Amino acid sequence: MEEKFVCPHCNQELTPWEPHPETCWGDTLWVCENDDCSYFTRGRERIAKEEKVNFAYRYCYNPQSKKAVPIVTWCGGELSFLKGRV
Ligand SMILES: [Zn+2]
């Protein structure tokens, strides 16, 4: 399957991401890794203000269910797609 998906918020190509085996998500998800993505920056600002914690949502698409699912990324966490964090 050579499918390509694009983030509707910033038009960047989504990156395939395999969930950790211990999560219950069996499907490969497609994540927007763009740190300038409006979806990411807006959510991050809001959360930082309201919750005083350093995490944010990234846009993520599940082609199996054809649904967009926001992924929580802990800034400082272990997820490999957190490179480029501030
Ligand atoms: Zn995006």
- Position 55 scores a pLDDT of 73
Give strand pairing partners of 30: 16, 61
> What spacing in Å lies between the alpha carbon of 79 and ligand 1's midpoint?
17
Ligand 1 centre to CA of 60 (Å) is 9
Phi/psi-derived region of residue 31, left when phi > 0, alpha when psi is between -120 and 50, beta in every other case: beta
4 belongs to a structural domain: no
Residue 8 domain-assigned?
no
CA of 78 relative to ligand 1 center, distance in Å: 21
pLDDT at residue 4, rounded to an integer? 86
Q: Which domain holds residue 50?
A: 15-79
> Going residue by residue through the chain (86 aa), what tens digit of pLDDT does each one get?
567 899 999 999 999 887 666 666 567 889 999 989 999 888 877 777 777 666 788 999 988 889 998 888 765 544 444 444 44
Q: Is residue 5 part of a domain?
A: no
pLDDT of residue 86: 43
Look up the pTM and report it: 0.68
Listed in sequence order, the residues at least 6 apart from 32 whose beta carbon sits closer than 8 Å to its beta carbon are 7, 9, 10, 12, 14, 15, 39, 40, 58, 59, 60
pLDDT at 56: 80
39 in any annotated domain: yes
User: How many folded domains does the chain comprise?
Assistant: 1
